[in-house]
Amino acid sequence: MEREELRKRLIEKIDNLNKPKGSMGRLEELALQIGLIQGTLTPTLTHPCHLLLGADHGIEREGVSISPRQVTWQQMRNFSRGGGGVNMFCRQHGFDLTLVDVGVDHDLSDCPAILSRKIAPHGTRNFLYEPAMSESEAERCLSLGRELACNCRQKGCNILCIGEMGIGNTSPSSLWMSELLDIPLAQCVGAGAGLNSEGVRHKMQVLTQCQQRVGHTTNPSVLMREYGGFEMVTAVGAMLWAAEHGMVLLIDGFIMTACALMASRIESDFLASAIFCHQGDEAGHRLMLEGMGVKGLLQLGLRLGEGTGALCAYPIVESAVRMINEMNNFDNAHITKYF
């Protein structure tokens, strides 16, 4: 069935469910989107998977985060023991969780629950002075992301969520946002995990110097190489592969939204596969979502990362699929259609 014909039939099916037209709001939008992604009038959600990607950032050495870099490996260990927020939500909603070390500055080889796929042993380089990664490292990240998404699909997954753990990763996200959406850096830089006003001022100064070093560019390859985190570029690769293969993508907060923005500049049709699940409190996240022409499902004030906002939104997505498949229509229910 051609896409436009499918769209028309999905809308007819949704409008003929026994309810006032449009009365299920965002659920109707989600049902239409998921039906189009999967190319069917009867979408399903199977074997939901969550990828948690961990890596460290050289820019953290400049004091741009309230949290020290050792928190990255400490939290990865915590996740491997099931004690994190991401673990709790994955258990609650039945997600298959995969933990991946793509460049944590610590030896985690004694944690069998963590897949070791380090791009470099100590994380990215300090992009105040040099590119965060080489061209070959960026390509390895994209390739790893494709591999991880493919592995999920081979398990029967058709809905994928991606989270991150990497102290300092709001900094590259802010720079990606500023360059790709042509928004002044001051409107893109926020408190991250909890910087005070002086900390935000310092972060802004550092990132301004970084932007001056590189110069303005909207080239995705350059931006990924100059500023990206290993976990971020890997996420971009996973997102692109998943979208290409008809998987539904749940997009979390600020960092993963920046990755989705990058993916959309590499593949123009990418956003059709992405459901933006949470809008954080920082003005930068709202501006990024607006710049992409999308809306977050939830506004819970979360700033944990890990993919937790997307996981929290999963029941809403599930409700949309149940609505289109399980609600009766006017004819079968013998209810007068009044519009």
Model pLDDT for residues 270-320, shown as the tens digit of each residue = 999 999 999 988 779 999 999 999 999 999 998 889 999 999 999 999 999
Pairing mode, strands 114-116 and 248-251: unpaired
Closest CA to 337 of 25, 20, 23: 20
Structural tokens at position 247? 């998987």
Give the residues across from 329 on adjacent strands: 17
* Fold category of 49-317 in CATH: Rossmann fold (3.40.50)
Question: Residues 28, 60, 179, 306: which is the catalytic one?
Answer: 306
Burial (CB count within 10 angstroms: exposed 0-12, middle 13-18, buried 19+), residue 14 = buried
φ/ψ region of 295 (left if φ > 0, alpha if ψ in -120 to 50, else beta) reads: beta
The size of the chain, in residues, is 339
- pLDDT per residue as tens digits for the range 125-152: 999 999 999 999 999 999 999 999 999 9
pTM: 0.96
| N-term to C-term CA, the chain | 28
Tokens at 201, concatenated: 């001022």
pLDDT in tens, 52-64: 999 999 999 999 9
Cα–Cα distance, 35 to 8 (Å, whole number):
11
Helix (H, G, I), strand (E, B) or coil at 329: strand
Q: Out of 3.30.70.100, 1.10.3720.10, 3.20.20.150, 1.10.1610.10, select the CATH number for domain 3-43+323-333.
A: 1.10.1610.10
Quickly list DSSP for 75-96.
HHHHHHTT-SHHHHHHHHHT-E
pLDDT value of residue 339: 67
Q: Where in the chain is the domain with CATH 3.40.50.10210?
A: 49-317
Residue range(s) of every CATH 1.10.1610.10 domain in the chain: 3-43+323-333
CA distance 149 to 141: 12
Average pLDDT over every residue of 30-51: 98
State residue 257 phi and psi, 5-degree precision.
-65, -40
* Of 330 and 95, more confident: 95
User: Distance from CA of residue 26 to its chain's centroid?
Assistant: 20
Residue matched to tokens 């050289």: 58
Q: Is 210 left (phi over 0), alpha (psi -120 to 50) or beta?
A: alpha
Active site residue 5: no
Q: Which residues of 281-320 are buried (b: 16+ CB within 10 A; e: fewer)?
A: ebebbeebbeebebebbbebebbbbbbbbbbbbbeebbeb
Pairing state of beta strands 114-116 and 96-103?
Answer: parallel
- β-partners of residue 51 are 98, 162
187 has pLDDT over 70: yes
